[in-house]
Chain A
Amino acid sequence: MLINPVEKDQKRISELELATGESISDCYQCGKCTAGCPASMDPAPSVLIQFLKLGQFELAKNAESIWSCMACLTCSERCPKNVSPAAIIEGLKNLHLRDMDPRVNLETMSRDFLAHSPQMAIISGFRKFI
């Protein structure tokens, strides 16, 4: 595959860096984030960041795996370059959510979940998926 950085994408990547407070170019692809990720994300955190480094914004933004991040912060804690993949992933999710593109359907949500889950799970879920 031939990868050409898209100029429009570069602008959006800069905006993502500004919003998240992260410096994507600092990543040197060591893969510690991916090695420690308990969410079995595919594309993995380091791959998502590589998409961004290559100027492929849409590939990162539309990756289904971003919705499996549980913000355990293992990646951020282990990054030797002080990048927070979890923050970048949340930045990508926020773009969907702010466009009114939720990832949980309230109407079909399991009543069982609402009845039995601790409030913190419901509130966090609302923040991360809706």
Chain B
Amino acid sequence: MDFQDIVLRLHNFWRGHGCLILHPYDVETGAGTFNPATFFGTLGPDALRVGYLEPSRRPTDGRYGKNPIRLRLHHQYQAVLKPPPSNIQQMYLDSLEALGMNLAEHDVKFAEDDWESPTLAAWGVGWQVCLDEMEISQFTYFQQMAGVSLDPVSVELTYGLERIAMVLQGVESAYDLRWNDRIAYGTLWREKERQFSIYNFESAAVERIQKMFTLCEEECQASLVAGLVFPAYDYALKCSHLFNILDARHAISITERESFIARIRELAKACAQGYLGTGGIDAYPTT
């Protein structure tokens, strides 16, 4: 099954379970959780069902295109359901079968992996789902988002698509995956991985990035003052991404690290408070 087929099948599967099928957010994110559909959607009392693809950029994971599974940009598929159905584990396993996986042939484990994001002031309880000991998904019952205790809680299923595709196509390296019947994943992505790795680890202009961080932080704060939570959140996301570049560049000492994270966290919390404060907007309704 081609990489692009996997995405289409997951869209279909979750559409069948009543999810809104959305698109990747067009601001850099480190994980699907940062997409506003999850960030704002999990807040508040209203039901939520969404599914979307999210390219996730993690500068420190870059390996110059040389590691078979560690990537600076990998593709996450994310399904979020609030409240969680009681058969959600089975539903998740069914989605793997829908991708053509014969689970009886593999070793599937739900291994404890509680999730926490200090930048989002969010945490949840759950597992990494391992297929033959390779982590292919993160399965999390969110308990808190942006410092707010969630009621009802949401469940988030995050699929690591490259890894799942490797199993399905039986290849040893993500770069050997078929994107479609003509183009290999490597053809599409290897050079980008190489260039971004050089950029993130060696070339990004530390001072300029630090300035950009401060500018985005100010823009976020200014938008919050104007009561514009969605634009504000975009700038919080940018801060998070810029921080990740600085981190990969080893430009942040351990002491500074904490304070950078705290600055982003304050922005995220303020966005959440602004959103809940508007009273009753349901940004991603189910009906």
> Are these two chains actual partners, yes or no?
no
Q: Which residues of B does A touch, CB under 8 Å?
A: none
